[in-house]
Each structure stands twice: as C-alpha cells, then as structure tokens.
C-alpha cells in the first residue's frame, strides 16, 4: 500500500502552540505532543511492507539525534521528495530513507485501476501528463492564500471555454495538497483512495 503526506515540520515549535506563530493552527500544545501523534497515527496503519511518500518538509533540522530516533521508529519504506526546509547534511538521517529526490513520477492503483501521479513538494501549474489524467500531489503551500490561488488557477483552466473547445475529450486537471494540516489529511499519511474520496 502507498501513502502520502507533506509538511510535517518535525521539531518546529512555530507549528505548535508553544511557538509564537502556530502557523497552521495545529492542535498540538508542544512539539513532543505533535511527534507522538504522528508516530501513533503513522504506525497504527502503516506496515513495514508499505511505502510512504513524504512530499517535503519532514523536519527543519536533519542534524538532530532526537529526529533520527523519531524517524527511525516510523514503519515502512520512506521516500522523501525534498522540500525547502529539509536538512540532509547528516548521513545518518539520509540513511533512514529508501530514496531521496526532488521530483518523482509513480503509478498507484485503486481497485485495479492505475493512476499516474506526479509528486513534488511545490505546486506546479503545468506537469507531465496533466492533459491525460495524471494527478499532481504536492505540499509547501499549507492552507495559505497561495494554495487558494493555485487551486483557483486550475479551476479557471478547467472551466475555460477555450480549453474545453480545444480538448473536449481530455480530463480536468487535478492537483491535491497533501500537507498534513489539510482537513482530509488530519495529520496522518493517507492513501490515494482516501485523498480522492474527499474531493469527489
């Protein structure tokens, strides 16, 4: 089984109530509470036979024995799509991931139907295969006005008379923010089926 998540921001106080910002209005009082929640939610559903694609910003600090110990407890094969906050300077931390890359194209299946996916930390307005039904999964923008603007651009492209006239047989562009703070993610990795179910 494949799972997806982005923007966990482990060891970042500004993502919890102990920080001055609590950037996403996360429900956690401390980073320790947030870490325990992620660990419990992750390991309650993911087995060592599963793969989790982390679409960037797993943590702010890669040189951290506590971080290494925490990530080592997360089950399954972990593939990191690098984000702007990922510090990979410690080889011990890098060893915890099956693969680390900037961008990835994969295929996932739901009920015997294959879906092509582009995985990126950043939202991309034009991605490979979008005219043929390839989905984009991304992070980075959290619940910001930038994310709303990106989704508005896609909606306008999908509703454009010019676009529908030129390519009436082609599917709509579909891009989904898998940031952990999104309501349908609820601070846990999700399957493609779970992500799509929320949007359909």
Segment-wise mean pLDDT, segments of 10 residues, the chain, 200 residues: 97 84 85 96 97 95 84 98 94 96 98 96 95 94 94 89 61 92 96 92
Whether residue 105 contacts residue 114, with contact meaning beta carbons closer than 8 Å, is answered with no
pLDDT of residue 159: 83
The pTM of this model reads: 0.94
List CB contacts of 70: < 8 A, sequence separation 6 or more. 10, 35, 39
DSSP letters along 35-68, please?
HHHHHHHHHHH--TT-EEEE-S-SBS-SS-HHHH
pLDDT of residue 96: 97
pLDDT of residue 157: 87
Domain containing residue 116: CATH number: 3.60.21.10
d(CA 58, CA 200): 28
Q: Are strands 103-110 and 113-120 parallel, antiparallel or unpaired?
A: antiparallel
Give every strand in the sheet of 99-101, ordered side by side: 2-5, 51-54, 77-81, 99-101
> Residue 146 belongs to what domain range?
2-199
Structural domain total, the chain: 1
pLDDT of residue 170: 64
d(CA 58, CA 6): 7
Nearest by Cα to 190 from 103, 110, 92: 110
Q: What CA–CA distances, in Å, run from 3 to 43, 92, 128, 129?
A: 12, 23, 21, 21
């Amino acid at each position: 089984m494949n799972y997806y998540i982005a923007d966990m921001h482990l060891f970042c106080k500004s993502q919890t109530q102990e920080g001055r910002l609590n950037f996403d209005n996360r429900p956690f009082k401390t980073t320790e509470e947030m870490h325990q929640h992620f660990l419990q939610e992750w390991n309650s559903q993911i087995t060592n036979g599963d793969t989790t694609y982390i679409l960037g910003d797993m943590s702010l600090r890669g040189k951290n024995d506590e971080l290494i110990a925490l990530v080592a407890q997360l089950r399954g094969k972990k593939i990191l799509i690098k984000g702007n906050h990922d510090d990979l300077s410690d080889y011990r931390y890098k060893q915890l991931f099956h693969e680390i890359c900037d961008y990835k194209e994969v295929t996932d299946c739901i009920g015997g139907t294959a879906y092509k996916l582009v995985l990126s930390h950043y939202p991309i307005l034009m991605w490979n295969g979008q005219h043929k039904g390839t989905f984009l999964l991304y992070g980075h923008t959290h619940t910001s006005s930038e994310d709303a603007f990106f989704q508005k651009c896609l909606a306008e492209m999908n509703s454009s008379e010019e676009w529908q006239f030129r390519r009436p047989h082609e599917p709509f562009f579909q891009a989904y923010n898998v940031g952990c703070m999104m309501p349908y993610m609820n601070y846990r990795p999700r399957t493609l089926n779970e992500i799509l179910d929320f949007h359909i």
